[in-house]
Amino acid sequence: SSAQIGVVGMAVMGSNLARNFANHGYRTAIFNRTWAKTEAVLTAHPEAHFIASQTVEEFVDSLEKPRRIIIMVKAGAGTDATIDTLIPLLEPGDIVVDGGNAFFQDTRRREEKLRAHDLHFVGAGISGGETGALEGPSIMPGGSEHSYTYVGSMLEDISAKVPGPNGDEPCCTYIGTDGSGHFVKMVHNGIEYADMQFIGEAYDLLAGAGLSAAEAADVFAEWNTGDLDSFLIEITSEVLRQTDARTGKPLVDVIVDAAGMKGTGTWTVQESLTLGVPAASIAEAVFARAASSSPELRKAARSALEGPDGTVTVEDRAAFVEDVRQALWCAKVIAYAQGLHLIKVAAVEYGWDIDVAACARIWRAGCIIRAKLLDRISNEYAANDLETLLEAPSIKAMLAEANPSWRRVVARATEAGVPIPGFSSALSYYDLVRAERTNAALTQGLRDFFGSHTYRRIDTEGTFHTVWSGDRSEVEAVDTH
Ligand code: NDP
């Protein structure tokens, strides 16, 4: 009989996703450009009873109509090439889902292209790596609502689940039209970058205060039992506890301190710049990775620059560790606030009707940033109309309580020479957005001085200019900006 779902791309992600569908009882068709990969999957997983095809024509013929196809190939040219081979073989009403890490503007373009052929295109952000793909990822699908009625329940079936009062809640929900799903996935990754940077800074501070890697592992394990409970904190403890077999040292001490990246963090920052959304803590995380991977810069600066060596003198170690925990929680909240604000602004810009509470809800399991905090965030967005996460009743209260700790940590780190671009930018964001008045008044004065860019007054309507080069009187001006 014909297959209910077809998966294109039999590399690690696609094959695991196909097995996930099969495990949920779906008759699953598989196809890969290179047959050898399909053959290997068939041999390794006879239990899945895959319907395999050597040609894309056979593959398309093996699917029941309207056809549902998920593409899991190399993002970019691979996705476009796959789409181009499929289009002439498909019929109006068929649904193509791209589960790869596509840039959301590519998804918008592809959705438009397929729509012109009366085909549905769903850009689904999928997070959770290869384990998630097999056991239940977090899925962020964007496309027409009509297409979601055809593929939504299948995607929800294979997604991660969170136990709820009315049974298991799937970590998959309709996000919005065209590129919205991939946009939300992109922001998820941006938050993931920030989360990891903050964790690194917390570890630096603990190490600076004299904790060994194993002691820090214990601290992170302890933190994982409270408000910081999350996948990343949990695996931090595991990585810090790992001993290198060759040297007997902590593994973390023998890993080269140069972090790689594949681009989704950079996309998030680029998009925050394009939309004018302050997301400095996410940006700092991307820049920190860039700095780590700039050996020439670091070599030159290391030999040129003086300063304290990162040793943090603490009188009360337990109190300091608690301060760092609070600072880490605060910084994490700021990254979420920046990322979710970016989603909110993008939704207006691109015409998406995105439920921010739902985004937080489907990040609670399956994905890399899964965390206990997301329960609170999701509930707060569901219960309140929030401009920013930071005004949520329980969030603002916890930030207020943690404020002294957060400030102490930033001050101590600064004095000790521990680089904390994440913690400090997060605190600056907190102070910037809550400020009664900002230094932008002076900036605008300067802009008026050198460029006649004009300013508005706090006490009168209108646009004004001071005649800086003349008698310095004020005149009403035509707003040039
Ligand atoms: P890869 O990104 O390594 O891509 C390999 C697959 O793409 C192979 O099936 C390959 O076919 C196919 N492919 C490449 N170029 C073309 C082309 N021009 N035409 C047709 N097929 C092509 O596979 P992964 O499994 O690692 O990732 C798949 C997708 O999932 C990617 O978009 C990736 O970004 C995303 N991903 C998501 C992760 C997550 O956590 N959500 C983690 C990892 C990846 P062939 O065998 O013939 O070469």
Model pLDDT for residues 52-89, shown as the tens digit of each residue = 999 999 999 999 999 999 999 999 999 999 999 999 99
CB atoms within 10 A of CB 302: 8
Establish whether residue 56 lines the binding site of ligand 1, counting it when its CB lies within 6 angstroms of any ligand atom: no
CB atoms within 10 A of CB 68: 26
Q: Positive or negative CA dihedral for 202, 203, 206, 207?
A: negative
Q: What is the pLDDT of residue 131?
A: 96
Establish whether residue 424 lines the binding site of ligand 1, counting it when its CB lies within 6 angstroms of any ligand atom: no
Establish whether residue 80 lines the binding site of ligand 1, counting it when its CB lies within 6 angstroms of any ligand atom: no
Q: What is the pLDDT of residue 320?
A: 98
Establish whether residue 139 lines the binding site of ligand 1, counting it when its CB lies within 6 angstroms of any ligand atom: no
Atom of ligand 1 nearest to the CA of 262: 34
CA of 11 to the centre of ligand 1 (A): 6
Q: How far is CA 455 from CA 138, 449, 459, in A?
A: 47, 10, 12
CB atoms within 10 A of CB 240: 24
Separation CA 205–CA 223 (nearest Å): 15
Establish whether residue 107 lines the binding site of ligand 1, counting it when its CB lies within 6 angstroms of any ligand atom: no
CA of 18 to the centre of ligand 1 (A): 14
For 408-425, write each residue's pLDDT tens digit.
Answer: 999 999 999 999 999 999
Model confidence at 47, in pLDDT bands (50, 70, 90)?
very high
Separation CA 269–CA 141 (nearest Å): 22
Could you give the dihedral angle defined by the CA atoms of residues 354, 357, 359 and 360, in that order, rounded to the nearest 10 degrees? 160
Task: Mention every residue, 6+ apart, whose C-beta is less than 8 A from residue 246.
Answer: 254
What is the ipTM metric for this complex?
Answer: 0.98
Residue pointed to by tokens 């605190």: 427
* Catalytically active residues, by annotation: 185, 192
* Residue nearest atom 9 of ligand 1, based on CA coordinates: 9
Task: Mention every residue, 6+ apart, whose C-beta is less than 8 A from residue 137.
Answer: 17, 126, 127, 128, 158, 159, 160, 171, 366, 367
Residue pointed to by tokens 């009062």: 165
Instruction: Determine which helix (DSSP H) or strand (DSSP E) holds 96, and give its type and residue range.
Output: strand 95-98
Question: How crowded is the C-beta side of 425, counted as CA atoms within 13 Å?
Answer: 22
Residue 250 is given by DSSP the state: B
CA of 42 to the centre of ligand 1 (A): 18
Establish whether residue 141 lines the binding site of ligand 1, counting it when its CB lies within 6 angstroms of any ligand atom: no
Model confidence at 298, in pLDDT bands (50, 70, 90)?
very high
CB atoms within 10 A of CB 133: 24
CA of 221 to the centre of ligand 1 (A): 34
Q: What is the pLDDT of residue 371?
A: 97
Separation CA 387–CA 371 (nearest Å): 22
Q: Is the pTM value of this prediction over 0.90?
A: yes
The amino acid at residue 384 is N
Atom of ligand 1 nearest to the CA of 137: 41
